Chains A and B, each alone.
Chain A
Amino acid sequence: MKIIMKPIEMIAWFNNTNYPIPLRFKIETEDKTNVVIKIDKIIFKEEEKIAGNRMVLYRCEGVIDNLKRIFELKYELATCKWFLFKM
C-alpha cells in the first residue's frame, strides 16, 4: 500500500458505539472524474493519538475497478474529516 492521504467525501453510519462506521466515499481520480467506493468490510480499526491528535484508522476492503482491494481510511476527531490514508 502507498500513502495517499487525500481528503474524501464520506457517508458514514454513527451508531451508539465509539466510532463512526464508514459506508461509502467519493474520491476524485487523476482524470478529474468522481469515483464512489463502497466499503464492504472493515478488517480492523484502531485509535491513534500521535502528538495528542486523535484519529481513527480503519483498514477496509472494497471493490475498485472490479478488483477487490485493501485500503486504509483515517477519521480525524477534532475536525470530523475523512481521509483516504493508504491504498
Chain B
Amino acid sequence: MNDRIVFHIDVNSAYLSWEAAYNLQMGSNLDLREVPSIVGGDQEKRHGIVLAKSIPAKKYGIKTGESVYSALEKCPQLIVVEPHYTRYMKASKAMVDFLYDYSPYIQRYSIDEVFLDYSNGNLPYMEAAVKMKEGIKKELGFTVNIGIGSNKLLAKMASDFTKPDRIHTLFYDEIEEKMWPLPVEDLFMIGHRTKKKLNSRGIFTIGELARLDRDYIYSWLKKPGILIWEYANGIENSDVRADKSKVKSVGNSTTLPFDVTSRDEALKVLLGISEMVGMRLRELNMKSQVISVSLKTSEFFSYSHQKKLYIPTSSTNTIYKMASALFDEMWDGNPLRCFSISLSSLLDENFIQLSLFEDFNEKDILLDKSIDNLRVKFGQDSIIRSSFLYSGIDPIIGGVVAEESYPMMSSYL
C-alpha cells in the first residue's frame, strides 16, 4: 500500500478558466483570467452568486458563494459572465479523455476534479505530471493544479497548496512538514462548524489535531472525529474508483428574485421543484427513499430537514406531500429566498416493498407516466397544474443543470 501514487488534478478556477478559454477561441482579445472577473448568475433576475472568480478578482476580496451584488460593491469594474454548464461539461470531458492517455484508473470526483491512480505508470511520476499539466494547457487552453500523494486525501491536500498551474507532492514523510502547519480548516471535511468546535479547545492547526489522542477525540466528537483525526494523520486508503458511479441523488433548487413570506407561495415553489425532481427521477427509472428539503432565508441562513419513507417513491404527489410536511416542520416564518429538494438513497424501480403504515396509490404511477409522456411529446409546459396559473411561479422549477449526469462533489473521497 505504501507505494501507491495518486494524482489529484484540479482545474484552476474552473468555470472561469473554461469561459476565458472559450472566449479566446471565439476570437475575444480579452483573457478573463487576467482581469477582475467572475462567473455568476443572472443579475437581472437577481439570481446571482459568485460561482468562480479570477485571481485578480480574488485580490479585491471577492469570495466564491457571495452574492454578485456584493462582489460588484467590492469592485465596480468587475466583469460578470453568465455560466454555461454544457460548455463546462464538454471541457471537463475533454480533460478526462486527455488523462486516459496516462492511466485507465480515473475517478471523476466533481466537474473540475479528477483522481488518477499512477502507481503503475510507465513514466516517473513527476515527468508524467509535468506532461499532463503542460499538455492540458497547450491543447485545452486552461491550467490545472496537480497534487501527488500516497493516497487520495494527501493528493487532494497537495493540489490545494499554492495556485495556479502548479505541481505539489505530499507523501507520508512530508506530512509533518507540509500539512501539519496549515490551519485546521484547510483539512478536507472540516467546515466552519467543526472549525469552531476545534478552535474552542485550542486546536488551530492540522498538526495539533493529528497529535491528539485517538481515544480523546473519539470521546469528544465520536466517529466523525476519528475520521478527521485519521485525515490529519494522512490515513486514508480508499481506491480510485474507476467505474462510473451510479447516480446517488437527484436534486433541484431555485433562488427566487423576491422574498417568499406566505406558506401558500412557498408550497407552490416546492411543488414546482417536486415536478422537476420527480420527472428526473422517473427518467432514471429509480425510486427514492429519503427526501430532504432545504431552505435559505433572505439573510442567507440555511436549514434543512429530511425524512425516510417506508415506501420508495418517484411520484410527484408523494414527493410534494413529504416536502410540504418537512417544510411545515421547520419553517419559522422568516422570509425565504432559496428552496431545494433532494432525493437520495435511490433504488431501482423494478420492485418495491410496500408498507402498512403509508398510503400507496398505484394510480399515481400511471398518472405520472401519462404526464411525463405528454411533456416529452408536446413540451414541458404542455400540461401544468392549474394552481400555478397567474401565480408568477414557474410550474416546473429547476433544470439549469445539463441533462447528462453532472458529477458533483461528495463529502467522501
Contact = CB atoms under 8 A, between A and B. Distances in A.
A3 B29 contact: yes
A49 B92 CA distance: 12
B263 interface: no
Contacts of A51: 17-18, 21-22, 25, 87, 90-91, 94, 140-142
Contacts, number: 46
Contacts of B27: 3-5, 83, 85
B237 to A, nearest CB: 33
Interface string A18-53: 000000000000000000000000000000111111
Nearest to B19: A51
Interface residues of A, number: 13
A60 interface: no
Contact of A48 (B25, B93, B95): B25
Contacts of B95: 52
Interface of B: 17-18, 21-22, 24-27, 29, 87, 90-95, 139-142
Given A5-B27, A50-B141, A52-B87, 11 more contacts: A4-B27, A48-B25, A49-B139, A50-B22, A51-B91, A51-B140, A51-B141, A52-B93, A52-B140, A53-B87, A53-B90
Contact of A52 (B24, B26, B29, B94): B94
Where chain B touches its partner, the secondary structure class is: helix
A38 B70 CA distance: 52
Contacts of B91: 51-53
The residue in A3, A4, A51 that gathers the most chain B C-beta atoms within 10 A of its C-beta is A51
Contacts of A83: 27
A52 B139 CA distance: 9
A69 to B, nearest CB: 18
B83 to A, nearest CB: 13
A85 B21 CA distance: 16
A29 B160 CA distance: 50
Interface of A: 3-5, 48-53, 55, 78, 83, 85
B92 A50 contact: no
10 contacts: A3-B29, A5-B26, A48-B25, A51-B17, A51-B94, A51-B141, A51-B142, A52-B91, A52-B94, A52-B95
A52 B25 contact: no
A3 B25 CA distance: 11
B24 A50 contact: yes
B93 A55 contact: no
B13 to A, nearest CB: 13
A50 B90 contact: no
A72 to B, nearest CB: 10
Contacts of B90: 51-53, 78
Contacts of A52: 18, 87, 90-95, 140
Nearest to A55: B25
A66 B348 CA distance: 69
Contacts of B24: 50
A9 B94 CA distance: 29
Contacts of B26: 5
Nearest to B86: A78
Contacts of A53: 22, 25, 87, 90-91
A86 B26 CA distance: 11
A86 B27 CA distance: 9
B334 to A, nearest CB: 41
A50 B21 contact: yes
Contacts of B94: 49, 51-52
Nearest to A85: B27
Contacts of A49: 94, 139-140
